[in-house]
Amino acid sequence: VQLQASGGGLVQAGGSLRLSCEASGGTFNPFNDDAVAWFRQAPDKEREFVAGISRSGRALSYADSVKGRFTISTRDTAKERVYLQMNSLKPEDTAVYYCARTARGPQNSNSKRALDYNYWGQGTQVTVSS
């Protein structure tokens, strides 16, 4: 499975960006129940969970720091393409954003630990200027 993240860029504080994560190379039938998540990593910081869609697709999770500003979504049950709409961006949102995927874990929640995800995209840089 390969994951391709895109949509990053430079934006002023208060602006918006939409990230996309496209999966390929796997078996993505309508019953595929992988969990998909976005993580981010700022310089000299650990990779942190941002948002996720559970394996069932029925539960969404967000880090407290992005609740109310970011929205994760998908248009298909196999979650072949997952989006992260980021509004009201702040300078502290600056980081490399990664999408990740796993077939492990519970159906109706997302692990917030990076080590629980076994497929990763290459990352897309988001820079928010003040």
List pLDDT tens digits, range 50-79.
999 999 989 999 999 999 999 999 988 889
Is the torsion defined by CA of 27, 28, 30, 36 positive or negative?
Answer: positive
The residue-averaged pLDDT of 10-31 equals 87
- Range of weakest confidence among 14-18, 63-67, 92-96, 109-113: 109-113
Q: What is the edge-to-edge ordering of all strands in the sheet holding 81-86?
A: 2-6, 17-24, 81-86, 70-74
What amino acid occupies position 51?
Answer: A
Q: Are 6 and 19 in contact (CB under 8 A)?
A: yes
